[in-house]
Amino acid sequence: MEDVTDTVFRRIVGLCGRPDLFFTEFIHTDVVLAKRRGRPGVTPRLVYSPQELPLVAQIWGNDPSAYARAAKRLASMGFSGVDINMGCPVRKIRKKGACAGLIRRPALAAELIAAAKEGGLPVSVKTRTGYDRHDTERWVAHLLLQGIDALTVHGRYAEQESDEPANWNEIGRAAAIARELGVETAVVGNGDVTSRAEIAERCRAYGLDGVMVGRGVFVDPYLFAAGERAGTFPRADAAQKLDLLQAHLRLYRDVWGATRNYEILKKFYKIYLTGFPAAESLRARLNATHDYEAAEAVIADFLRGIGECDVAAGGASRAETKVLR
């Protein structure tokens, strides 16, 4: 997800309860191949740590030769696979014939897949059920016949963007088509999943090999956790949520320092600052900060306040509770 699933957030999710597989933010092939001072450069979107493996690099664009070269570079960098984004519904991108625009360019889509295979890594595709209507039969069958290793189907067509509920019957149809064709491609569903229990339920109900979760981790970073921690984060108290936010802040600063804009962090505040008294006012205070030190001071001030309230009530400070163990 754009400016969200960077190496820092993937590590935070991994600490909470890691999924079977991580994906990068989507990266244009030109950026993968970009050079700085005459040598290959590394965009922040390709930075990762060993604990994030297996990690798949998601790419986009519409130039087969760039796909082949980008796939080879990604293989040399140690990525576990290449995923082609054929589902992003942003209008200006699909109007250029890329991402969801490829749904209307099946021949080019096949060329891009063939080119990506030249890198020697497993190749998967993430797409939608159609462009301006559900077109699952034609489009999914076309992709499955290209010999890809996995196909992730988001249950909306491109022009729906994120405005309507995902149609899981269409996702189930994609899995059925794979069985009818007799291909070995793993079929993965995606759309509106917000709990671990739903993952197993959707796999059983729709005959899927797996479920990809995107925005669901905004609701619960512990979404993939098993056992007693599963599903606990939405009900956690302020101190627990702020403990995880502080871990995110520290890791972001340690990894990026001054090389990335602090303001990007504000996208994550809504994950942690909800479901407890004064969450909205605390979020407003943090959104008014412009550096790590100011953010940490605001959080420390808030924690002192709730600690004093608990002590005054005769209890132990809730700020002593730790989420990460």
Q: Do 251 and 243 meet the contact criterion of CB atoms below 8 Å apart?
A: no
Does 48 lie in the same domain as 188? yes
Question: In this predicted structure, what is the pLDDT of residue 310?
Answer: 52
Question: How many structural domains are present in the chain?
Answer: 2
- Provide the residue range defining the domain that includes 302: 233-320
CA distances from 148 to 37, 73, 82, 185, 292 (A): 36, 19, 10, 6, 43
Contacts 24+ apart (CB under 8 A), 183-189: 183/144, 183/145, 183/147, 185/144, 185/147, 185/148, 185/149, 185/150, 185/151, 186/149, 186/150, 186/151, 186/210, 187/150, 187/151, 187/153, 188/150, 188/151, 188/152, 188/153, 188/212, 189/152, 189/153, 189/155
What pLDDT was estimated at residue 322?
A: 44
Tell me the mean pLDDT per 10 residues along the chain, length 325. Answer: 88 94 96 74 89 97 98 98 97 95 98 98 98 97 98 97 94 98 98 93 98 93 85 88 96 93 93 93 97 96 76 39 41
| 99 classed as catalytic | no
Q: Which of 151, 179, 212 is the last residue of a domain?
A: 212
Q: According to the model, what pLDDT value does residue 325 have?
A: 38
Which pLDDT value is given to residue 41? 64
Do 208 and 237 fall into the same domain?
no
Domain for residue 304, yes or no? Answer: yes
Q: Are residues 182 and 35 in the same domain?
A: yes
Does one domain contain both 267 and 156?
no
Q: Among residues 16, 88, 99, 309, which one is catalytic? A: 88
Would residue 4 count as lying in a domain? no
Tokens of 15: 């600490």
